[in-house]
Each structure stands twice: as structure tokens, then as C-alpha cells.
């Protein structure tokens, strides 16, 4: 996505969204604590959150500036939280993510972080001054010019087909490839699409077996056709065959529902299926060809970078970070500013400017720091 220019800052003397300070008892990625702080000089509040779990969400009430302890079942019906975080993911209480009416919008992207083609400029990311970027939280935004969106389901696998507006047909984007975690959660494959149409798909892949760290067994090709009248086709990479979408063994689900304008690839878990599937990519196919492992790159584990299909929010539509800019497989924040509308059904509902400024705020990965303030209207 191309970056939008940052609005010139106009300072607003807004009330603080304060919260009681919490002591941070440790700084490792497994620490169970989070930290709350209010930056008086910048007139915003911040939370350092232990969101390192791959399964549990951390729920935040932006009005109180504090975490809200909820089970998954409680959160599904609660309106006491506004946003929730789990590693790199951020969701808003509304749409498919919660019982609230929350929506989000991208307000600003700082100048210089992306080039004209939308590519991350590494030197800008790695030299960014977090204090300077915090000024965007106090900028004045015309909310009527922003596009607010509710959370919706989105597959982790994107940019895999090309649409021809003349013929109205689709074809495989063979320039991209992906790493796929199978339904069992321990087997992996790297794959590219050789061909795809509304009725058939051909996948070329190589597998890393359970309890191993290297691809082995050679490359395989799987071609399967969508049954007449069906809108889905499931593939079992282990069996190298089509599979029952109602079963537990499929690894990749091809959804082709033209009536619903839905053309998607789903892994087994997250939205469809009860498995532990997830994906990482897109990765340039030429680069992926050099991968010898689905879980280790340059002696560094990349297992944490897989994403399950999930509800997508404005924080994923316009991502808050860039990855591996310095060759160290780290995440770097782009200091985008988002507006979270706590209740889109109410005209004068509370709205908050939000940034994510750090992914390692408690020492380890999965501990994002969020900065936020209530805005006037």
C-alpha cells in the first residue's frame, strides 16, 4: 500500500486517558505483566502489553487505559473492551470480532517510511524517533474524510491470483509463494501455485515433516478440480489429494463463490476447520526456492511469524509494522496513527487516536506498546 502523507501537526490540549500505573516485574517475552504509563509531556497514555501468547488475547479499555481480564467466552459478549492484541494481531470490538459496534480507520502514515511503490524504506524505519512520531496522536483529523471499517474475516494467504478485467478470468500469481503450517500444527510445506481457475487449482510444494527442521522428500504437484455446483475444494498436502472439507485432514481450502464475490485460500484453523494451520507470506517465489526450512532462517526461528486466518481490522488492512528490514528477522513499527471509534452506532461516541510503537517493549517479542489518547470532535 502506498503511504499517505502525514497531516501537519496541530497540538490539541486534550484530557488524558489515565490509568493506574502497574509495576513491571520482568521484561522477558513470557512475563505475565503489562505496564501502564502516562506521558505527561506528550499528553497520551501508553500500555506495554504481554501479548506473547499464540492463543490468548489481551483486552484493552481505551477509556480507562487499562487491561480488562476476560475469557474468550466473556469477551465475545462484553462491551468493556475496545481493542485486543495477540502478538502482531490487533482486533476491534465490533463486526466479527466482538459484540460491540467498534470500527477503525487509518488516519495517517508518517512521510518517508514507504517509497512511491509502497515499499518500506529500511533506513527510515530503523532510525525513527518514537517521541517525534508520537506527535501524530495530537494532530487534528477530519473524521469525515476517514474510512471506518468493522472487523471481518480475512485469510492469511493473500496476493495469490491475478484477475483479468477483460476476460473476467483469474490466473495464478506464480511470482509469490507461501509457507504453510498443516492442520496438525507440526508439519509444514512451502508452496507456489502453478495454475488456478474458477474450476481447478494446481499446487507445487515441498514438505517439512513433523519433528524435523528441513524440507525433504522432493517437490510434489497436486492438481484438483472443484466439483460441479460446489463453492469449495480442500487439499490434503500429506496425502497429495483432494480431501473432504468437512473432515479434519485438509490443509488448504480453495473457496470460489462468485455469487458472494469470495475467492480465497484458507488454512485449517482460525476461521475454517479445527486444526492448527497457519501461513507465512507472501514471499517472492525466487526467494522461497532457497528456503531449506519452514521454521528456521539463518539460525533464527521464524515459527512465530505464521498467522492463522482471522478477523481482519484496520490494523491489518494497513499494517502497523514492517518485517526483516535489517536482516535480523525483527518487526519494526511504522508509527501509523489509527482512529478507533468505540461505538459507530452513536454519533458522539468516544474516539481514540492509537499507535503501536514497539513490538519488544517488555524485552521479548509479542510485547507491543500501544500509545493512545481520546480525541475531541
Question: Is pTM, for the whole model, over 0.75?
Answer: no
pLDDT, residue 328, reads 76
Mark whether 288 and 330 lie in a shared domain. Answer: no
Instruction: Give the phi and the psi of residue 90 in degrees, each rounded to 5.
Output: -135, 130
Q: Tell me the three cell numbers of residue 261.
A: 464475490
Nearest residue to 226 (alpha-carbon basis) of 309, 170, 163, 177: 170
Mark whether 331 and 289 lie in a shared domain. Answer: no
Residue 20 counted as domain residue: no
Residue 298 counted as domain residue: yes
Mark whether 138 and 171 lie in a shared domain. Answer: no
Cβ-based neighbour number of residue 73 at 10 Å:
8
Mark whether 165 and 215 lie in a shared domain. Answer: yes
Residue 326 counted as domain residue: yes
Taking 50 as the threshold, does the pLDDT of residue 23 lie above it? no
Mark whether 136 and 240 lie in a shared domain. Answer: no
pLDDT, residue 330, reads 87
DSSP string, 130-175: HHHHGGGGGS---GGGS--B--EEE-S--S-EEEETTTTEEEE-TT
Rg (CA), the chain: 21
More confident residue, 293 or 6: 293
Mark whether 122 and 240 lie in a shared domain. Answer: no
Determine the Cα–Cα distance for residues 301 and 303; give it in Å rounded to an integer: 6
Residue 14 counted as domain residue: no
Q: Tell me the pLDDT tens digit for each residue of 34-46.
A: 666 655 445 899 9
Mark whether 211 and 94 lie in a shared domain. Answer: no
Q: Could you say which of 280, 305, 330 is where a domain stops?
A: 305
Burial class (CB in 10 A: 0-12, 13-18, 19+), 377: exposed
pLDDT, residue 35, reads 62
Mark whether 168 and 282 lie in a shared domain. Answer: yes
Mark whether 301 and 322 lie in a shared domain. Answer: no
122: three-class secondary structure by DSSP: helix
Determine the Cα–Cα distance for residues 80 and 75; give it in Å rounded to an integer: 8
Mark whether 340 and 242 lie in a shared domain. Answer: no
Distance of CA 356 to the CA centre of its chain: 13
Residue 3 counted as domain residue: no
Residues 318-336, mean pLDDT to the nearest whole number? 88
Residue 209 counted as domain residue: yes
pLDDT, residue 27, reads 29
Q: Of all residues in the chain, what percent carry a pLDDT higher than 70?
A: 89
Nearest residue to 50 (alpha-carbon basis) of 31, 36, 77: 31
Supply the range of the domain harboring residue 87: 35-151+313-374
Q: Could you say which of 305, 332, 347 is where a domain stops?
A: 305
Taking 50 as the threshold, does the pLDDT of residue 53 lie above it? yes
Residue 93 counted as domain residue: yes
Model confidence at 301, in pLDDT bands (50, 70, 90)? very high
Burial class (CB in 10 A: 0-12, 13-18, 19+), 93: buried
Angle at 175 between CA 174 and CA 179, to 5 degrees: 85
Residue 125 counted as domain residue: yes
Q: Tell me the pLDDT tens digit for each residue of 338-366.
A: 999 999 999 889 999 999 999 999 999 99
How many domains does the chain contain in total?
2
Determine the Cα–Cα distance for residues 64 and 45; give it in Å rounded to an integer: 10
Mark whether 274 and 176 lie in a shared domain. Answer: yes
Q: Could you say which of 305, 339, 363 is where a domain stops?
A: 305
Mark whether 166 and 264 lie in a shared domain. Answer: yes
Amino acid at each position: 500500500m502506498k503511504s499517505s502523507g502525514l497531516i501537519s501537526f496541530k497540538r490539541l490540549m486534550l484530557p488524558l486517558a489515565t490509568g493506574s500505573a502497574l509495576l513491571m516485574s520482568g521484561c522477558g517475552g513470557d512475563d505475565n505483566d503489562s505496564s501502564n504509563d502516562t506521558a505527561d509531556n506528550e499528553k497520551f497514555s501508553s500500555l506495554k502489553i504481554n501479548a506473547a501468547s499464540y492463543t490468548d488475547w489481551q483486552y484493552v479499555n481505551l477509556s480507562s487505559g487499562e487491561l480488562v481480564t476476560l475469557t474468550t467466552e466473556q469477551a465475545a459478549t462484553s462491551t468493556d473492551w475496545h481493542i485486543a492484541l495477540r502478538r502482531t494481531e490487533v482486533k476491534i470490538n465490533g463486526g466479527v470480532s466482538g459484540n460491540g459496534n467498534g470500527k477503525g480507520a487509518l488516519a495517517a502514515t508518517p512521510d518517508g517510511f514507504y517509497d512511491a511503490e509502497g515499499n518500506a524504506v529500511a533506513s527510515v524505519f530503523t532510525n525513527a524517533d518514537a517521541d517525534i512520531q508520537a506527535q501524530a496522536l495530537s494532530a487534528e483529523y477530519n473524521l469525515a474524510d476517514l474510512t471506518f471499517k468493522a472487523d471481518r474475516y480475512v485469510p492469511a494467504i493473500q496476493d495469490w491470483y491475478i484477475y483479468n478485467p477483460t476476460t473476467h478470468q483469474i490466473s495464478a500469481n506464480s511470482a509469490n509463494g507461501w509457507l504453510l503450517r498443516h492442520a496438525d500444527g507440526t508439519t509444514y510445506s512451502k508452496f507456489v501455485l502453478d495454475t488456478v481457475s474458477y474450476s481447478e487449482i494446481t499446487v507445487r510444494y515441498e514438505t517439512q515433516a513433523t519433528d524435523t527442521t528441513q524440507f525433504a522428500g522432493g517437490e510434489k504437484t497436486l492438481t484438483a478440480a472443484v466439483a460441479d455446483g460446489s463453492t469449495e475444494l480442500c487439499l490434503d498436502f500429506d496425502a497429495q489429494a483432494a480431501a473432504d472439507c468437512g473432515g479434519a485432514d485438509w490443509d488448504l481450502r480453495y473457496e470460489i463463490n462468485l455469487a458472494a464475490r469470495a475467492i480465497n485460500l484458507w488454512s485449517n484453523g482460525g476461521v475454517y476447520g479445527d486444526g492448527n494451520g497457519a501461513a507465512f507470506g507472501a514471499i517472492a517465489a525466487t526467494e522461497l526456492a532457497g528456503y531449506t526450512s519452514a521454521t528456521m532462517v539463518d539460525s533464527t526461528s521464524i515459527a512465530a511469524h505464521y498467522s492463522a486466518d482471522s478477523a481482519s481490522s484496520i490494523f491489518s488492512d494497513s499494517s502497523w509494522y514492517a518485517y526483516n528490514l535489517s536482516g535480523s528477522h525483527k518487526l519494526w513499527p511504522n508509527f501509523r496513527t489509527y482512529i478507533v471509534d468505540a461505538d459507530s452506532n452513536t454519533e458522539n461516541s468516544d474516539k481514540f487516536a492509537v499507535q503501536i510503537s514497539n513490538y519488544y517493549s517488555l524485552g521479548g517479542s509479542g510485547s507491543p506498546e500501544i500509545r493512545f489518547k481520546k480525541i475531541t470532535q
